[in-house]
Amino acid sequence: MFYLFNFYVLAALTVISAIFVITRRNPVHSVIFLIITLLSLALLYVQLQAEFLAAVQIILYIGGIMVLFLFVIMLVNLDVVARQAPFNRQWHIAGLAALVLLGELVAALYWGRGTPTLPLAPPTALQPNTELIGVTLFQNYLLPFEIASVLLLVAMVGAVLMAKRR
C-alpha cells in the first residue's frame, strides 16, 4: 500500500516536471525541472530495488551531465533567445504525431494484458544489488564494459576538440 502511494506521488512529480522541462522559456528553468525529474526517477529506481542505479543516476546524470548543461547555458549568451518564440512552426503536427505514439504505446500495453506473465519476483530476489552488478559486469559483460570506456575516451577527445578555439 505504501509502495503504491509512493509510486503515484513520484510518477506525478516526474510527469509534471517533464512537462515543465519542455514548456519553459528560460533554459535554466528547464534544467532545474529536468533535475527534479531525474531525482524522482532515481527514487523510483530505489523502489525497484536498484539502489546502485539510483546512486549512479544521481552522481553521473544529475551531478555530471546537468552541470555540463548549466555550464553551456551560462557560456552561451541566451538573452536574445529568451525573447524569441519557444515553439517552432510545426508544433501542431508534432503534437498529433506524439499523441499517435502515446496511443500506440498504451494500446500495446492494453492488448497485452491477458497474456500470462512471469510471476513478480519476491522483494529479496535481487539482493545484494551492487555485488551482483559488479560480478555480472565483469564476468558476462566485460567486452561491452571495455568498449564503453573507449567510447567515453572518444567522446572526451571529441568534445574537447570541438569546443576548442581554433
Count of residues engaged in binding other proteins, rule: CB under 8 A: 104
Among 115, 136, 142, 143, binds other proteins (CB under 8 A): 136
For position 88 contacting other proteins by CB under 8 A, the verdict is yes
- Determine the Cα–Cα distance for residues 126 and 120; give it in Å rounded to an integer: 12
On the 0-12 / 13-18 / 19+ scale of CB atoms within 10 A, 49 is middle
The CB-of-66 to other proteins minimum distance in angstroms stands at 8
Among 9, 26, 142, 146, binds other proteins (CB under 8 A): 26
Nearer to other proteins, 116 or 125 (CB): 125
For position 159 contacting other proteins by CB under 8 A, the verdict is yes
The CB-of-116 to other proteins minimum distance in angstroms stands at 13
> For residue 166, what is its C-alpha cell?
581554433
Query: 108: how many CB neighbours lie within 10 A of its CB?
Result: 9
For position 146 contacting other proteins by CB under 8 A, the verdict is no
* Sign of the Cα pseudo-torsion (113, 49, 43, 137, in order): negative
Query: 46: how many CB neighbours lie within 10 A of its CB?
Result: 16
Pattern of binders to other proteins over 111-130, x per CB under 8 A?
--x---xx-xx-x-xx-xxx
For position 13 contacting other proteins by CB under 8 A, the verdict is no
- Determine the Cα–Cα distance for residues 19 and 27; give it in Å rounded to an integer: 14
Residues 49-78 that bind other proteins (CB under 8 A): 49-65, 67-76, 78
Among 36, 83, 102, 111, binds other proteins (CB under 8 A): 102
Q: Residue 94's Cα: distance from chain center in Å?
A: 21
For position 81 contacting other proteins by CB under 8 A, the verdict is yes
> For residue 124, what is its C-alpha cell?
529479496
